Structure 1
Amino acid sequence: MNRRHVIRALGQGIGLTALAVAMVGCAGNDAPLETANVGQISEYRLGAGDALRVIVFGEEQLSGEFRVDGTGKVAMPLIGEVSAKDRSTRDLEKEISTRLAAGYVKEPKVSVEVLNHRPFFILGEVRNPGQYQYVNGMTALSAVAMAGGYTYRAKEDYVLITRGADPKKEIRRAPITTSVMPDDVVRVPERYF
């Protein structure tokens, strides 16, 4: 629905609720296509809320389970806060190793693994919309399955997705085979016929 249609609808006295419903119905068709597919999604990037296990081999007192805080940092023994936001686990391993090697541990060997990922969100025409725990390798179709499947009104050939990593939070139309990442919002649109 373009600006001219909105102005005409307001001029004809259509209620705001009806206008909002009409605009939501059109959002799926007007949304730009998602360009990334399953093979193009990059390595998992850490963010606030991720639970991590950090192992410094041979140094039990420096190892443990840590959570990425709201500012995107992990508080580590001896070296203090380490920035984890938007980094891979390999990047974080290198950063921790470098900082430990600077006067604390001789030739540190560090391993970082994600224990619990941040959630993703699914809305619209699914049986149980809400927040769900991210699982590696997820697609929009597996997200729908986690949410109990489609309702009878669901449009099943694509989803609308807002990427958590997108600073513009643009809604994009994507095939059901598209990858889902933590913080993404997936919406299954309603079919009208």
Structure 2
Amino acid sequence: MISKTRAGMTISRLAALAVIAALPTACARHAGPVVAASELAATPDVYHLGLGDKLRVNVFGEPSLSGEYQVSGNGAVTMPLIGDVKAVGLTARELEAALTTRYAAGYLKQPRIAVEVFDFRPYSILGEVQRPGRYQTSEGLTVLGAVAAAGGYTYRANTHQVFLRRAGETAEHQVTLDRDFPIQPGDIVRVGERYF
């Protein structure tokens, strides 16, 4: 016959095991849809503009039209004389063509325009890092570089995998850190908690 104390301990242990078993499911439910990193789009060869990107536009021979501009919340760049020009989703070359067409329609004769991205939109990192927040994206940035910029992992962090959401997507990608993974402008990196 089991004593009341031992029976209570056995029930407590069973309850604790049930809670631990339910943790991964609860966490997955909280995080939203998670897909394998193999489905994660590779870093594109050509960069597409997004909200918050800062551009240097050079209209040759027209210093009053040239300058630094930002892709605004409505997805456009506001240019002198011609107003808003859609920029989100375009490459720098495609935006050059759009600006050239607009300026050639009654404003300038044979405009020549160059567009350069000089400051990419930031990425965000949250979860088990020392300083969660938004950070400036730089070329060649990887997940480990993003963690380092945020002050490194907390003692509770799962250092073997992170969850990555690309800009404009709703699903998180589970990325194992057996190799360093590139960060793109606008990404959201979530460092999860490890379970003992």
Give the TM-score taking structure 1 as reference length.
Answer: 0.78
Match of 1:41 in 2: 43
CA distance in 2, matches of 1:52, 1:159: 31
Partner residue, 2:195: 192
* Structure 1 segment 90-169 matched on structure 2, within 5 A: 90-166=93-169, 169=170
Identity among equivalent positions (%) equals: 45
Moved over 3 A (4+): 19-22, 25-28
> SS at 1:187's partner residue?
strand
Structure 1: stretches of 5+ with no match in the other structure: 1-11, 13-18
Query: How far did residue 175 of structure 1 move?
Result: 3.4
Instruction: Note if contact 1:37-1:178 (Cα within 8 Å) is conserved in structure 2.
Output: no
1:130 & 1:57 partners in 2: Cα distance? 39
What stretches of structure 2 of length at least 5 have no aligned partner? Answer: 1-14, 16-21
TM-fit CA distance, 1:27: 6.9
Look up the SS of the partner of 2:36 in the other structure.
coil
Which of residues 45, 53, 57 is equivalent to 1:54?
57
How big is the shift at 1:171?
A: 1.6
Q: Which residue of 2 aligns with 1:4?
A: none
- Number of matched residues? 174
Task: Give the TM-score normalised by structure 2.
Answer: 0.77
Separation in 2, partners of 1:102, 1:26:
53
Q: Is residue 2:69 matched to residue 1:71?
A: no
**How far apart are the structure 1 equivalents of 2:47 and 2:82?**
24
Supply the AA of the counterpart residue of 2:128.
Answer: E
Q: Larger Cα Rg: Structure 1 or Structure 2?
A: 2
Q: Distance in 2 between matches of 1:67 and 1:151?
A: 35
